[in-house]
Amino acid sequence: MKEIVLNPEREFSVTRRHPWIFSGAVAAVIGEPQPGETVRVVSDAGTFLGVGAYSPASQIRVRMWTFATDIDIDESFIAERVARAIGTRAVLLAEAGTNAFRLINAEADGMPGVVVDKYSEWLVCQFTTAGAEYWKSAIVEALRVYMPCCGIYERSEADVRKHEGLSDTVGLLAGEMPPESIEITEYGCRYLVDVRCGQKTGFYLDQRDNRRTVALYANGCEVLNAFSYTGGFGVAALNAGASSVTHVDISELALTMARKNTLLNVCSLENSEFISGNVFEVLRKFRDQGRLFDMVILDPPKFAESKNSLMKAARGYKDINLLGFKLLRPGGVLATFSCSGLMTPDLFQKVVSDAAVDAQRDVQLTARLQQATDHPHGLCFPEGLYLKGLLCRVW
Ligand code: SAH
């Protein structure tokens, strides 16, 4: 097998079971491995540390498949990993009120660069790394065996593919073409998902548990659902007895789907408002108008793309949270999220508390929230915990 030799004293993260080896840690590449090909990883002293996928175009030069030294990476290894990931979702597969969840969550499931989401009878895959691309057909074969479905569709369009030297790939991988929208259920709520053109693989499944938690507090509330996408939190709130929901999103396409999702659940658009615009501007306008809500949900996209943009991102989070606090009646609920992996839970809490100070509000922290249980992260891979949220009572 081809080999990567690490620089002196650069084996520490691998021995700590962290799955990424950066280019700066690599002293030598032996045997000219192709993109995605499996390589042995060896320390400067010659200790065999495990095997990973080689990615010559990426700063993350190797992603570990395993830290075991007696395992070959072949079709049966891949099939075993797919089966293992699906096996750990058994509780969700048995959950009658939910039929959409993540089956494979990349590093957390020992499959870097592989994301597979299940929407009712369809699977949607994202392969974001050279190693994932290399084993694509073996992964699809294993999915067909372990998770029989109507069709498997690919949405490999993530920005990270560019860093891996891969171009976007979209289309049918197996079975039938998914329909324009797939109806899913999530703890009793019904949503239409456009897996071909929607954001990511079509729906933000990582917020499933949080939509349910937030809805518990929504009865009788006037709700502001900022960064609504296709209505997720707001529809769950309406189903739970919210008196009205105002959705705000910059994407018209998302709001069109939010209208359909509202009709699907409550048969009327009477208590729902759909505002197409920039949340930063719309919330400022509401503040100037003196408009108030009983519940504000802030679920923005990733503001921090790199370490350099972290401080700018922090200002963005502070700004919207300050506005969120100002728009709440005393006793109201704020559910605020960050999906920037670079923003740690501690930093996020600091930013939100700074906003509370500026807004001159007393705030109780009711619950810390994170990505749903089908989006686990490795204990030795803290980067995998990207979604965090705070559920607050605001006085
Ligand atoms: N809460 C949603 C997911 C939100 S994803 C759910 O549960 O499904 C983030 C959303 O923010 C996307 O729909 C994107 O279109 C929208 N968005 C991004 N920047 C925005 C901005 N400045 N103003 C309004 N919406 C924005």
How do the domains of the chain map onto residue ranges? 2-66, 75-175, 204-394
Does the pLDDT at position 6 exceed 90? yes
For residues 140 and 312, the model is more confident at 140
Q: Answer whether 299 contacts ligand 1 (Cβ < 6 A).
A: yes
Question: Residue 304's pLDDT is what?
Answer: 81
Instruction: State which H helix or E strand residue 370 sits in.
Output: strand 363-370
| CATH number 3.30.750.80 is the correct assignment for the domain at 75-175 | yes
Per residue in 318-347, pLDDT tens?
999 999 999 999 999 999 999 998 999 999
Indicate if ligand 1 lies below 6 Å from the C-beta of 229: yes
What proportion of the chain, given as a percentage, has pLDDT over 70? 100
Q: Kindly name the residue from 125, 189, 221, 339 that is annotated as catalytic.
A: 339
Q: What is the pLDDT of residue 93?
A: 86
**Which structure tokens are listed for 168?**
């976007």
Say which CATH class 204-394 falls into. Answer: alpha beta
- Cα gap 376→361, rounded to integer Å: 34
296 pLDDT above the threshold of 90 = yes
Architecture of domain 2-66: Roll (2.30)
Largest CA distance in the chain: 70
- Residue 338 backbone phi and psi in degrees, to 5: -135, 130
- What is the reported pLDDT for 158? 78
The closest residue, in CA terms, to atom 9 on ligand 1 is: 301
Return mean pLDDT, the chain. Answer: 96
CA of 134 to the centre of ligand 1 (A): 32
What pLDDT does 309 receive?
A: 86
- Please say whether the beta carbons of 120 and 101 come within 8 A: no
DSSP string, 29-93: EES-PPTT-EEEEE-TT--EEEEEEE-TTSSEEEEEEES-SS---SHHHHHHHHHHHHHTTHHHH
Instruction: Give the number of other CB atoms < 10 A from CB of residue 3.
Output: 16
Give the model's pLDDT for residue 160. Answer: 82
* Interacting residues of 94 by C-beta distance below 8 A, sequence separation 6+: none
Asked if residue 253 has its Cβ within 6 Å of ligand 1, the reply is no
Residue 377 scores a pLDDT above 90: yes
Q: Measure the CA–CA gap between 54 and 96, rounded to whole angstroms.
A: 41
User: What is the rounded distance in angstroms from the CA atom of residue 22 to the CA atom of residue 41?
Assistant: 12
For the question of residue 339 being annotated catalytic, the response is: yes
| Rounded Cα distance, 214 and 216, in Å | 5
Whole-number pLDDT of residue 12:
94
Cα 119 from Cα 98, distance rounded (Å):
10
- Cα-to-centroid distance, 81 and ligand 1 (Å): 33
pLDDT digits (tens, 9 = 90+) for 76-129: 999 999 999 999 999 888 888 899 999 999 999 999 999 999 999 999 999 999
**Smallest CA separation from ligand 1 atom 16, residue:** 227
Q: pLDDT tens-digit profile of 151-176?
A: 999 999 978 888 888 999 999 999 99
pTM of the model: 0.95
pLDDT above 90: percentage of residues in the chain: 92
Ligand 1 pocket test target in 201, 203, 213, 229 with most atoms within 8 Å of CB: 229
